[in-house]
Amino acid sequence: MFSILFLLLAAGVPYYILLEKKTRLNSKSIFLLSGFLLLSAIILSLYVENEHRTSLVIVSFASAIYSIYKATKTTNFYKLGYYLIFVNAPFFILFEGAGAMYSFSLLVSLVGLFLIGKFYEKNYGSANYRHITGITLVTPCVGTYLTLYLITLALYPPFPNALFFLSHIFNSEPNTLWYIIVVTLFFANFSLAMGVMRATLFGRPHSDIHYVHMNSKEKIVHFLILMLLLTLSFFGLKETLL
């Protein structure tokens, strides 16, 4: 019973297909809803043991594969945010207890990405990053934070996603399904994050766009997210090394 609840809350089934069809719910709301449900799953896993069944892992993996496909098609930060929640759902189920920490750090990095999306929406009209190129050159502060979030999502240390991921895979018993999931999601997270990097961080600045810098309030918020990520990294490092 709880396994199925975990599967639903942790985005193991692509319920966004239905939500996307509802015109009242925009991509921002779907991100917030799926993020909230994942947070609920994380909190629930503190009280209820998250034991996975192979069939549920396969279901979540199938959902992840579909979400990877959807994520490659989007250039919207909000959509990419919730697709990434669904892409990483098999880790939550497969990693059991350790999966909660991984998912939490994923959620924190996605909040950062979501705020970057909001920044784009406020200044460039929408959270769509297509054609908004050369951010690294013209607005270095936005570029730095976005780079850090994307490095985190691409599973690179010293950020917590990579550390919790490594911690789990070093301490688990691999089988064929485990290998397939780990390899697929290892490359999927990387490819999706690198795709965003190439699309908006890199490239020549667009001459028709008036690039805007972050204001102090936004800088503080992103700095706090970064600090939270580094704090999680500290715990991740402890868990991985000791």
Partner 1 sequence: MGTGVLMEKVILLIPGIPIFIAFILFFVRKKELIPKVSLALSSMVALLALYGTYYVISNDTKIIGFDGLLIYNELSAVLVPYVAILGLVIRKYASKYMWDEAGYKRFFILLNFIFASIYLFVMSNSLIVLALAWQLLSISLYLLVSFNVGSKTAVKNARWTMNIHKGADLVFIFAIILTYKTFGSFNLAVLSEKWLAMSGHPVENPMIFVIGLLFLLAAMMKSAIMPFHIWLPYTSEAPTPVSAVMHAGVVNVGGILLNKMAYLLLLAPGVLNIAFIVGLITAIGASLIMLVVADIKRSLGYSTVGQMGYMIMEVGLGAFSLAIYHLIVHGIFKATLFLESGALIKWARHDSNLPKRLSYKLFWEDKVKSNSKQIFNYIAFFTIMPIVAFIGIKMVLSEEFFEFNAAIIILAFAWLTGTQLFMSFFKASKSYSTMVMFALVGSFIMILFTYEFVGLALEHFIYGDDALLFYKAATFNITMLMSVAMLAIIMVVGWLFMYKQYFKDIPKIDSEPKRMKLLFYKFLVKEGYFFSLFKVFKKGKL
Binding site for partner 1 (CB under 8 A): 134, 136-137, 140, 147, 151, 154, 156-158, 162, 166, 169-170, 174, 183, 186-187, 190, 194, 198, 201-205, 240-242
Closest approach, Cβ 198 to partner 1, in A, equals 6
State which residue, 17 or 224, has the beta carbon closest to partner 1. Answer: 224
Closest approach, Cβ 2 to partner 1, in A, equals 29
State which residue, 96 or 121, has the beta carbon closest to partner 1. Answer: 96
CA distance 81 to 120: 14
Q: Phi first, then psi: give them for residue 128, nearest 5 degrees.
A: -85, 130
Contacts of 215 (CB under 8 A, 6+ apart): none
CA distance 60 to 122: 34
Query: What H or E segment, with its residue span, contains residue 108?
Result: helix 97-124
Closest approach, Cβ 10 to partner 1, in A, equals 24
State which residue, 60 or 240, has the beta carbon closest to partner 1. Answer: 240
Identify whether the C-beta of residue 120 lies closer than 8 Å to the C-beta of residue 129.
yes
State which residue, 47 or 170, has the beta carbon closest to partner 1. Answer: 170
Closest approach, Cβ 15 to partner 1, in A, equals 31
CA distance 208 to 133: 11
Give the tokens for residue 83: 């697709």
State which residue, 27 or 200, has the beta carbon closest to partner 1. Answer: 200
Closest approach, Cβ 190 to partner 1, in A, equals 6
Q: Which residue reads 């919207």 in tokens?
A: 76
State which residue, 39 or 158, has the beta carbon closest to partner 1. Answer: 158
Q: How far is CA 85 from CA 34, 139, 165, 173, 237, in A?
A: 7, 28, 15, 24, 23
> Any alpha helices (H) in 125-215, and if so which ranges?
135-138, 140-153, 160-170, 176-196
State which residue, 55 or 191, has the beta carbon closest to partner 1. Answer: 191
Closest approach, Cβ 66 to partner 1, in A, equals 23
Q: Is 76 exposed, middle or buried (0-12, 13-18, 19+ CB in 10 A)?
A: buried
Closest approach, Cβ 238 to partner 1, in A, equals 11
